[in-house]
């Protein structure tokens, strides 16, 4: 069975893709690595791609994982990139992220999640059910704080204007993390937020299956 190489969102793991139903393909999630000091996203992508053993693979990235997929695709030939709740270029970075980057607020404001910040974070993610809240809480406990600081800094300062010729972007029009007004999407899922890979998995799966049927 053919493989789709998947990279999850910031701090997430293989559970982020667990509700997708993809016909004729196996999803192989590449686990996040701990960044080394002063590592760039380009260098990081070089290490992440070591787990990719196929020629001209299909890459699928969720949120920050989509940026890493794009960086990998600059380094090796890939047949397709599928982005979910992500961005394709620096032009799609929202204003609030650009402001954080300009003022370097990520260096000042503590990134560790607290009881006070969790409801805000859940709203930004579009978390809905108790199951989703439990999953996100579990991911927060497991995530490495130095990795989080590195990933946030790389995401808000991402410099990219290159796009793969076969890139497909699935996005929700209620995404608060990456607002749809900044996005040129291939598929737009109505009333879906940033966490739609979990709570709108059937619709996301349908889009992916349609993409895979294209030659």
How confident is the model at residue 29, as a pLDDT? 97
Distances (CA, A) of 179 to 65, 111, 183, 208: 17, 21, 7, 21
Backbone φ and ψ for 191, nearest 5 degrees, come out as 55, 30
Strand partners, 60: 6, 82
The rounded distance, in Å, linking the Cα atoms of 150 and 32 is: 12
Distances (CA, A) of 52 to 69, 94, 182: 11, 31, 31
> How would you class 103 by CB atoms within 10 Å of its CB: exposed for 0-12, middle for 13-18, buried for 19 or more?
exposed
The rounded distance, in Å, linking the Cα atoms of 121 and 191 is: 18
Q: The tokens of 105 are what?
A: 């607020």
How confident is the model at residue 134, as a pLDDT? 78
CATH number (3.40.710.10, 1.10.357.10, 2.40.160.60, 3.40.50.1820) of 2-213 reads 3.40.50.1820
The rounded distance, in Å, linking the Cα atoms of 17 and 5 is: 11
Q: The tokens of 130 are what?
A: 């108790």
How confident is the model at residue 170, as a pLDDT? 98
Q: The tokens of 29 are what?
A: 């999630």
Backbone φ and ψ for 98, nearest 5 degrees, come out as -65, -35
DSSP structure string for 86-131: --SSGGGS-HHHHHHHHHTGGGTS--S--TTTHHHHHHHHT--SHH
With contact defined as beta carbons under 8 Å apart, do 94 and 179 qualify? Answer: yes
How confident is the model at residue 1, as a pLDDT? 80
The pTM score is 0.90
How confident is the model at residue 110, as a pLDDT? 54
Q: List, run by run, the mean pLDDT of 10-residue segments along the chain (215 residues).
A: 93 91 97 93 97 96 97 98 97 94 79 62 76 74 80 95 97 96 97 95 98 86
Residue 134 in 3-state DSSP?
Answer: helix
């Amino acid at each position: 069975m053919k493989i789709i190489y998947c990279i999850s969102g910031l701090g997430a793991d293989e559970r982020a893709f667990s509700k997708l139903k993809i016909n004729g393909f196996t999803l192989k999630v590449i686990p996040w690595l701990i960044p080394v000091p002063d590592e760039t996203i380009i260098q990081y992508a070089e290490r992440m791609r070591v787990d990719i053993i196929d020629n001209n693979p299909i890459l699928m990235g969720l949120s920050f994982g989509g940026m890493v997929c794009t960086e990998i695709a600059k380094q090796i030939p890939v047949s397709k990139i599928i982005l979910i709740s992500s961005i394709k270029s620096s032009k799609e970075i929202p204003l609030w992220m650009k402001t954080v980057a300009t003022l370097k607020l990520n260096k000042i404001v503590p990134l560790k999640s607290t009881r006070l910040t969790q409801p805000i974070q859940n709203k930004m993610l579009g978390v809905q059910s108790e199951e989703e809240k439990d999953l996100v809480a579990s991911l927060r406990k497991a995530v490495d704080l130095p990795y989080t600081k590195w990933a946030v800094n790389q995401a808000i300062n991402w410099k990219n204007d290159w796009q793969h010729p076969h890139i497909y972007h699935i996005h929700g029009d209620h995404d608060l993390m990456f607002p749809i007004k900044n996005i040129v999407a291939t598929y737009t899922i109505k009333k879906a937020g940033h966490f739609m890979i979990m709570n709108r998995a059937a619709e996301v799966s349908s889009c992916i299956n349609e993409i895979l049927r294209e030659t």
